[in-house]
């Protein structure tokens, strides 16, 4: 039997971890973007397989929370897991959470168990591995711009999603690989408090523009980037001044020249950095200009749409 499951990816802009003795209640609050195309998981269950294996983008690999997932499910059958995504592991796209969620959904479907139970076990595996605190919840329950209002596994944590216009595109640039476990262990109380305070302000006016402004503040505080790096990206949102000419006639012709600030010439709505990924949102008609600017930072560019939802395909 073969199962195919497609799930979106999730890029957090800002967050605040919240730990509990009960891992189902552990998680994070914050906000992020749910995007597609995401990750496709093809699980083949067969007695003919000599061993179970996980392949990501054509390379056999180990994804730490998957082993914890198999232990929790007590699944001892042989399965071939093929994961594919347009992005690499470890940069900040929520690939670990997406992979664990997709595999858990496949295992539970094979066993005839519920999707919610699958999502909860994926969350537990992520929490125990310290590879993610809110991705499983956002990917399973959210779409577009998603705010995590209450931490915890799906069915416990609470999200609120805000739909975005269809003409928007999410552009990302791969910068460097950063381990989530190392990042979480390095967070101090000041950073955690900042994430909480930002969320409290953001929910009062949860626009995409505010998401990026607050995310930039958080990114600089946590050390994902700095002011000098953001200055390199100012061409994405530069302000343009032009001279406007008005003609009036008195005893002689007088040309009055006034400097007028016109609408900002912006190639994107906003941009920020999460771990090792730079990401921005632009209207489709400004996509070419935005991409050309981002390519000066990194040649590894990806383009996504806002989205959400889980898609299943069963075939033998």
Q: Is the per-residue pLDDT at 258 higher than 80?
A: no
Q: For 35-63, how does the pLDDT look when each residue is reduced to its tens digit (9 = 90+)?
A: 999 999 999 998 888 888 999 999 999 99
pLDDT at 48: 83
pLDDT at 215: 96
Radius of gyration of the chain (CA): 22
pLDDT at 266: 78
Average pLDDT score over residue span 163-188? 93
Task: Write the DSSP symbol of residue 235.
Answer: G
- 304 or 226: which leads in pLDDT: 304
Determine the length of the chain: 316
Q: For 66-104, how does the pLDDT look when each residue is reduced to its tens digit (9 = 90+)?
A: 999 998 888 878 899 999 999 999 999 999 999 999 999
Full set of structural domains in the chain with CATH: 2-228+273-315 (3.30.230.120)
C-alpha dihedral sign at 238, 14, 95, 165: negative
Task: Write the DSSP symbol of residue 19.
Answer: -
- Alpha helices of the chain — where are they, by DSSP H? 64-73, 95-110, 115-129, 135-141, 180-186, 189-202, 208-222, 227-232, 287-294
Average pLDDT score over residue span 254-280? 70
pLDDT at 265: 62
Give CA–CA dist 88/77, Å, rounded.
28
SS3 153: coil
Q: Is the per-residue pLDDT at 261 higher than 70?
A: no
Q: For 201-255, how does the pLDDT look when each residue is reduced to its tens digit (9 = 90+)?
A: 999 999 999 999 999 999 999 989 988 898 888 888 753 333 333 334 333 333 3
pLDDT at 238: 58
SS3 277: strand
Q: For 102-149, how does the pLDDT look when each residue is reduced to its tens digit (9 = 90+)?
A: 999 999 999 999 999 999 999 999 999 999 999 999 999 999 999 999
| Mean pLDDT, all residues of the chain | 89
Which letter, b or e, does each residue of 257-281 get, where b requires 16 or more Cβ atoms within 10 Å of its Cβ? eeeeeeeeebbbbbbbbbbbbbbbb
7 contacts 139 by C-beta, under 8 angstroms: yes
178 contacts 96 by C-beta, under 8 angstroms: no
């Amino acid at each position: 039997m073969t199962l195919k499951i497609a799930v979106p990816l999730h890029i957090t802009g800002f967050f605040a971890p919240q730990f509990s003795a009960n891992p189902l209640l552990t998680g994070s609050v914050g906000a992020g973007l749910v995007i597609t195309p995401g990750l496709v998981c093809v699980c083949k269950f067969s007695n003919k397989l000599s061993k179970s294996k996980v392949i990501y983008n054509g390379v056999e690999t180990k994804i730490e929370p998957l082993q914890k997932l198999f232990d929790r499910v007590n699944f001892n059958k042989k399965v071939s897991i093929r994961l594919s995504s347009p992005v690499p592991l470890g940069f900040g796209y929520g690939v670990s959470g997406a992979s664990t969620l997709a595999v858990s959904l496949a295992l539970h479907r094979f066993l005839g168990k519920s999707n919610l139970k699958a999502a909860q076990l994926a969350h537990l595996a992520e929490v125990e591995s310290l590879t993610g605190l809110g991705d499983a919840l956002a990917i399973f329950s959210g779409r577009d711009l998603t705010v995590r209002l209450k931490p915890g596994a799906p069915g416990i944590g609470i999200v609120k999603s805000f739909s975005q216009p269809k003409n928007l595109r999410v552009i990302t640039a791969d910068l460097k690989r950063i381990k989530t476990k190392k990042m979480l262990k390095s967070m101090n109380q000041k950073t955690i408090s900042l994430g909480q305070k930002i969320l409290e302000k953001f929910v009062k006016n949860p626009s995409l523009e505010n998401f990026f402004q607050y995310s930039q503040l958080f990114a600089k505080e946590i050390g994902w980037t700095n002011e000098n790096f953001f200055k390199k990206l100012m061409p994405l949102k530069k302000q343009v001044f032009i001279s406007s000419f008005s003609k009036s006639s008195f005893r002689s012709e007088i040309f009055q020249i006034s400097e007028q600030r016109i609408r900002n010439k912006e190639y994107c709505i906003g941009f920020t950095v999460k771990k090792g990924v730079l990401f921005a949102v632009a209207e489709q008609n400004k996509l070419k200009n935005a991409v050309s600017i981002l390519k000066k930072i990194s040649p590894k560019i990806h383009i996504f749409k806002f989205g959400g939802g889980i898609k299943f395909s069963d075939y033998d």
